[in-house]
């Protein structure tokens, strides 16, 4: 394609072709065309079971140069050579250790890359100037057929601009590399979503340089002890990288990403507070949550990455989520952390790289917060408690609180009293959809402030839970007691609408005092 630039000079722009293939019914004509492009030194992006790869002839120095140029990748960052036949390993390696065959029988084809001494057949352009070569045999049927059509040796880093989140769909490849490569083979979404595990077979014991779906435990079941590179979850290295992704920042979205670390409960509270502070400044942050936590976030742009019960879903969605944030107007992104075991180790490795190793302890965010949760308690949780909670939510609070209400006598869920809802709507608020819930022992803990509508509810709570080892009652007060006011909150049940209005006004006065007290805690008050 010819195009004129601003100076009217005609320049040649590559036209990237997209070919869609069904992996269950592979079009041999497309594979043949793609293979020919690779044989002639061109670049073809294709699906593997891990991520989309940017294919080139692994034995062609000029093809390696084109790969680095298309990705904007540092030339000392080695490429992985993909093969489709185990016997082809002998042509490109030397001094292969005996454990290799056992690992290959168990994990090839599959998401495992092994590093060996290279033979003279492999150019230094492919290995990043190293005397070693990384080799993998992918299990995706499209990848297998393409490798064979290309001559058996295809180098294939992830098919994205260097540093960006790796592509898990052909659309991701198009976003980054359109006009820079000859062809994209669209085989749909990938299965795993994270790059392969990389094991250095040139050392004893073999060392994991990059975690992936094949975990240390799985490897040790086959060959015994393996070691793990200490920098996997550490800071960037100044040493020459032996494997892709070891040295440079990778997988990064455009917005700054920070990992919040602590117990899951602490992480949720900390991220809530960060999002709340940004919202008060008129900014929006991105939040990476899970099935188990997304419902607890109240501010920010929240994306569900998957289930902690099935971390494979998290791995599969990670890069998609990071790329989606690039389309959103977020100032920063905060992510929960994940267990550093099994595939969680690979997830955290990629998150660490995407964040540039930017981590903050959740405790740093929440340490100044005297209370994290406030629960208003009334008799039936259909009027005064929900009203108080909603009024507090509208106050200008300097800290984010989990504000809730519960009842002492709740036999079954009931909607809010209609007269109470009418008063709320007249004040530009609503409790529509709210249903009553009973106070339980789980509501009584050190980080929760429990405020009752009257002395009657407080006395009942103390009588029932004061001597329980699992319930914390030191934070139980009447609302007027806590704010230092003698104003009583009447129960308007069965009274005219005006009584509900008077109740609302009294609750509002007490809540305004409560807000000032809560804000004083953030300024060092007691």
- The tokens describing 276, both together, are 């709340």
Please give the Cα distance from 254 to 327 (Å, whole number). 9
Of 38, 40, 33, nearest to 53 (Cα)? 38
Please give the Cα distance from 125 to 77 (Å, whole number). 10
Sign of the alpha-carbon torsion through 16, 22, 27, 32: positive
What does the pLDDT read at residue 523?
A: 58
- Burial code (b: 16+ CB inside 10 Å, e: under 16) for 297-311 equals bebbbbbbbbebeeb
Do the strands 448-452 and 476-478 form a parallel or antiparallel pair, or are they unpaired? parallel
Give the pTM.
0.84
Residues 265, 272: contact at Cβ < 8 Å? no
Residues 499, 491: contact at Cβ < 8 Å? no
Do the strands 112-118 and 132-136 form a parallel or antiparallel pair, or are they unpaired? antiparallel
What does the pLDDT read at residue 249?
A: 55
What does the pLDDT read at residue 39?
A: 98
Burial class (CB in 10 A: 0-12, 13-18, 19+), 76: middle
Cis ω on the peptide bond leading into residue 68 (within 30° of 0)? Answer: no
Spell out the per-residue pLDDT of the chain, length 526, in tens. Answer: 444 444 444 334 578 999 999 999 999 999 999 999 999 999 999 999 999 999 999 999 999 999 999 999 887 789 999 999 999 999 999 999 999 999 999 999 999 999 999 999 999 999 999 999 999 999 999 999 999 999 999 999 999 998 899 999 999 999 999 999 999 999 999 999 999 999 999 999 999 999 999 999 999 999 999 999 987 765 554 555 555 555 555 688 999 999 999 999 999 999 999 999 999 999 999 999 999 999 999 999 999 999 999 999 999 999 999 999 999 989 999 999 999 889 999 999 999 999 999 999 999 888 777 899 999 999 999 999 999 999 999 999 989 999 999 999 999 999 999 999 999 999 999 999 999 999 999 999 999 999 999 999 999 999 999 888 889 999 999 999 999 999 999 999 999 999 999 999 999 999 999 999 999 986 544 4
Please give the Cα distance from 389 to 412 (Å, whole number). 20
């Amino acid at each position: 394609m010819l195009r004129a630039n601003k100076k009217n000079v005609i320049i040649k722009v590559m036209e990237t072709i997209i070919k869609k293939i069904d992996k269950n019914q592979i079009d041999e004509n497309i594979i043949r065309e793609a293979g020919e492009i690779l044989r002639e030194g061109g670049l073809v992006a294709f699906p593997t079971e891990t991520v989309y790869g940017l294919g080139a002839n692994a034995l062609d120095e000029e093809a390696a140069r084109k790969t680095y140029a298309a990705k904007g990748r540092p030339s000392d960052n080695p490429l992985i050579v993909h093969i489709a036949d185990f016997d082809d390993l002998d042509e490109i390696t030397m001094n292969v250790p005996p454990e290799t065959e056992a690992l290959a029988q168990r994990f090839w084809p599959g998401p495992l890359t092994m590093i060996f001494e290279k033979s003279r057949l492999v150019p230094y352009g492919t290995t990043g100037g190293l005397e070693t070569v990384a080799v993998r045999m992918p299990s995706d049927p499209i990848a297998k057929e393409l490798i064979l059509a290309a001559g058996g040796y295809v180098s294939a880093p992830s098919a994205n601009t260097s540093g960006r989140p790796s592509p898990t769909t052909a659309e991701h490849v198009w976003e980054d590399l359109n006009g820079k490569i000859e062809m994209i083979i669209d085989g749909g979404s990938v299965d795993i979503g994270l790059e392969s595990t990389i094991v250095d077979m040139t050392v004893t014991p073999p060392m994991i340089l990059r975690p992936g779906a094949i975990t240390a435990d799985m490897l040790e079941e086959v060959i015994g002890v393996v070691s793990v590179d200490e920098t996997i979850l550490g800071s960037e290295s100044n040493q020459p990288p032996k494997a892709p992704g070891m040295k440079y920042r990778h997988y990064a979205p455009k917005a700054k990403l920070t990992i919040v670390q602590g117990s899951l409960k602490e992480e949720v509270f900390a991220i809530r507070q960060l999002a709340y502070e940004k919202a008060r400044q008129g900014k929006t942050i991105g939040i990476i949550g899970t099935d188990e936590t997304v419902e607890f976030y109240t501010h920010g742009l929240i994306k569900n990455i998957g289930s902690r019960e099935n971390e494979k879903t998290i791995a599969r969605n990670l890069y998609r989520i990071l790329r989606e944030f690039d389309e959103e107007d977020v100032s920063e992104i905060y992510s929960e952390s994940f267990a550093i075991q099994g595939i969680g180790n690979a997830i955290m490795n990629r998150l660490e790289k995407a964040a540039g190793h930017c981590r903050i302890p959740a405790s740093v965010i929440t340490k100044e917060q005297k209370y994290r949760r406030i629960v208003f308690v009334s008799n039936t949780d259909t009027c005064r408690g929900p009203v108080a909670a909603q009024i507090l939510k509208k106050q200008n609070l300097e800290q984010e609180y989990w504000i809730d209400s519960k009842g002492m006598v709740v036999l079954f869920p009931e909607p809010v009293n209609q007269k109470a809802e009418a008063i709320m709507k007249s004040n530009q608020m609503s409790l529509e959809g709210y249903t009553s819930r009973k106070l339980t022992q789980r509501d009584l803990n050190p980080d929760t402030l429990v405020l009752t509508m009257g002395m009657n509810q407080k006395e009942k709570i103390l009588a029932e839970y004061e001597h329980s080892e699992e319930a914390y009652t030191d934070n139980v007060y009447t609302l007027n007691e806590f704010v230092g006011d003698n104003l009583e909150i009447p129960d308007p049940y069965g009274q005219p609408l005006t009584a509900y209005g008077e109740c609302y006004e009294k609750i509002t006065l007490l809540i305004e005092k409560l807000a000032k007290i809560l804000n004083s805690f953030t300024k060092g008050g007691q």
